[in-house]
Amino acid sequence: MNVDAGQDLEAVRRQLLVFAEDLQVIVGRERSRREEAEAAYRELSSSYLGMVRTLAEVCESKDTYTRSHLDRTYQYAMALTRRVAPEYAERAEIGYGYLLHDIGKVGIPDAVLNKPGKLTEEEWALMRTHPVIGVNIVKPLKLLGDAVGIIRWHHERWDGKGYPEGLKGEETYLPARIFMLADTFDAMTTDRPYRKALPIHVALEEIDRHAGTQFDPELAKAWVEFVDGLEPHEAAALSFVR
């Protein structure tokens, strides 16, 4: 981790903890002040979301090939969540988890993170540690709750061949399975140093082909149907048109 990124990360994390404490105080206020408390809670929640985004962007700034990845994957994951599990979409911490999914990459050396060629076995093993690093970073943020599972498990696969724990099927937290699909879709439809972005229809064919192996089959079906059914202006709003 470079010194500047580490210092920025620590400063933002301290601020997040302050916001979390403030939120907990407000939630505990007596019912007679509910309207005031709710207004203050919304304001602090907005500030908390801004701090979470800043924390995530500290990480994203390290990776020269994934700029704007954060916003796109957040949009995709929230769109799919609203479609298949609206009760999760209403929980603020799920959005925080989506934004912070790759925060652990702040602990991966730049030479590995931004290597233009194929990673060695040793480098790949190091890269696969970023979900666990991310969990350790966000441990003090109690308001994330079980959304920490998004950070830990967003590289797990339906067939158990993912990492870091090799979880299979529904053993992985549902929002993590949602994000894994959104993350992969973005990777396929974005230019990379070693290949051009795939057309949307080809990416959807790949998702359909790997349903039941890489992806939760129900989520894969829902995503393909969702994207196929979008009007052009709706697709543009989700950043499909770049």
Q: Which amino acid is at 106?
A: V
Mark 85-120 as b/e (b = at least 16 C-beta within 10 Å). beebbebbbbbbbbbbbbbbbbbbeeeebeeeeeee
Cα(95)–Cα(49) distance, integer angstroms? 9
Cα(95)–Cα(100) distance, integer angstroms? 9
- CA-based R_g, the chain, Å: 18
Give catalytic status of residue 142 as yes or no. no
Cα(129)–Cα(107) distance, integer angstroms? 9
- The catalytic residue among 62, 105, 118, 139 is 105
Cα(180)–Cα(153) distance, integer angstroms? 8
Angle between helix 217-228 and 174-188 (nearest 10): 50
Catalytic residues: 105
